[in-house]
Amino acid sequence: MIVCAGNNETFSFASTIGVGLIESAMNLTRICMFDKPDYIIFIGSAGSYGGYKPFDIVESSSAANLELSFLENNSYTPIDNVLKCEDTKLQNDTIVNSSNYITTNATLGKEYLQYGIGIENMEFYSIVKIAQEFEIDVKGIFVVTNYTNEKAHQDFISNHQEAMDKLIKHLEKKKLIVPHGTIKGKETL
């Protein structure tokens, strides 16, 4: 099953699950409870902490929920804030950070690189957590739209359409969808 966030990131071949950690967790849980998929592929955009450039494609099965306040030594958490799908075949997996907030401080953003975290996407942590709970293999396929800096939103808007086109072409090249957005069978994963 291919899923996406929604709003301006919808695809005819993907189920929309909502924007941010809460909506995506609620809606993906509902899907898994009533029609559990064999696998989940989440597709969407991401911001780069500096290791990737706009329009790069990044695949991952690892997610984190590491807030900016943690980087500033202003918080801690009792939860497991880094998750990895154990069944993944991905080597050198880039960790995708998730928060309901977008990083706009380039200096703090670069600190994520020290933790092996390369990009941020608002939903992916909740998707990996739900997939683990239901014992479903999961991966994310992201296209970088911007760097995490003061121009993050402006660059996201400017690059969004081209980035979505590149993401679709990547999915077609991997044979996950056929031209015109039809989903391929599980055997192509």
User: Domains, the chain, ranges and CATH?
Assistant: 2-188 (3.40.50.1580)
Say if CB 93 and CB 84 are below 8 A apart.
yes
What gap in Å lies between CA 46 and CA 120, rounded to an integer?
A: 5
pTM score over 0.95: no
> Within 13 Å, how many C-alpha atoms sit on residue 178's CB side?
4
What gap in Å lies between CA 95 and CA 178, rounded to an integer?
A: 28
pLDDT, tens digit only, all 189 positions of the chain: 999 999 999 999 999 999 999 999 999 999 999 999 999 999 999 999 999 999 999 999 999 999 999 999 899 999 888 998 765 565 568 999 999 999 999 999 999 999 999 999 999 999 999 999 999 999 999 999 999 999 999 999 999 999 999 999 999 999 999 876 556 554 444
